[in-house]
Structures are given as structure tokens and as C-alpha cells.
Amino acid sequence: MVTPPPIHCPTPSPTPLNFNSDASITTGHNMLVSVLLALFLPCVEKGLSSSELEKLPKVTGKELGLGTECAVCLDDIESEQLARIVPGCNHGFHLECADTWLSKHPVCPVCRAKLDDQFSTASASPENNPC
């Protein structure tokens, strides 16, 4: 396996570019570093298995409570389409989109809530909702 070269981030410009403070520049720089690391470094966390995916609730688009836009493909979930709901945060996605994402990443694509211990119905209660 080929290791990617180290990422060298440019230092912020001394003249702010539409930023209100030095904190904004630092935040923007940190965000850039986070995005680059997420894109170019291998994922350490393993996604969910097929059997774990099957434990997640399935509903139709008309049963979604938190909106009908799929955050994975950015398309609307039609009322008759199958959707998968993430326990704990109750975010919903097209079934295929959710399974593709969750098989690679064990977190909700919207709020990044971890799914490793959220397969029980107790953890899906409203008081445990991270959103």
C-alpha cells in the first residue's frame, strides 16, 4: 500500500480575506486540515457489517419525521421509497445510500453520532437523541 505524502498546509495570510478575526482564520485553517485529512488518509474505523445493517430500522419516505432529503446523495426521498433510519438521532436516508455509507463509516452522515452501541431500542429514545 502506498502511503500518501505528508500534507503541508499553507499558513494563513497576514491580511484577512473576508474574516472578522484571527479566530476565524484559525477555524478556517483547522477546517481545511480536517477535510484534507478525511479525504486523503485511510479510514481507521470499520463500517457496519451486513447483519448489523439489517438490524437498523427501515421505513418508507412518508414515515420520515426529520425531513425527506437524503444527506448522502442530496436527493429527495419519495414517499414510496424505502429509507433507513439511524437509531439514536433518527436521521433517515435512502436505503441504498445509508447502507453504502454505513458499510464504510459507523457514524450518521448528518450528525456523526456513532452507531456502535446504538442498536438497542433503549438508545433510540428521544432523551438519548444527540440532535
Question: How far is 119 from 101, CA to CA, in rounded Å?
Answer: 17
Q: Which helix (H) or strand (E) holds 84?
A: strand 82-85
Whether the pLDDT of residue 39 is over 90: the answer is no
pLDDT value of residue 66: 74
Q: Encode 69-105: b = buried (16+ Cβ within 10 Å), e = exposed.
A: ebbbeeeebeeebebbbbbbbbbbbbbebbbbbbeeb
Whether the pLDDT of residue 37 is over 80: the answer is no
**CA 39 to each of CA 34, 36, 56: distance values in angstroms, whole numbers, following the listed order:** 9, 5, 27
**Cα 117 from chain centroid (whole Å):** 16
pLDDT value of residue 128: 53
Mean pLDDT of 53-79: 89
Least trusted range by pLDDT, from 20-24, 51-55, 64-68, 109-113: 20-24
Q: Which domains does the chain have, with CATH numbers?
A: 1-42 (no CATH), 50-128 (3.30.40.10)
- CB count within 10 Å of CB 118 equals 19
Mean pLDDT of 50-56: 91
User: CA torsion sign, 52 to 53 to 59 to 65?
Assistant: positive
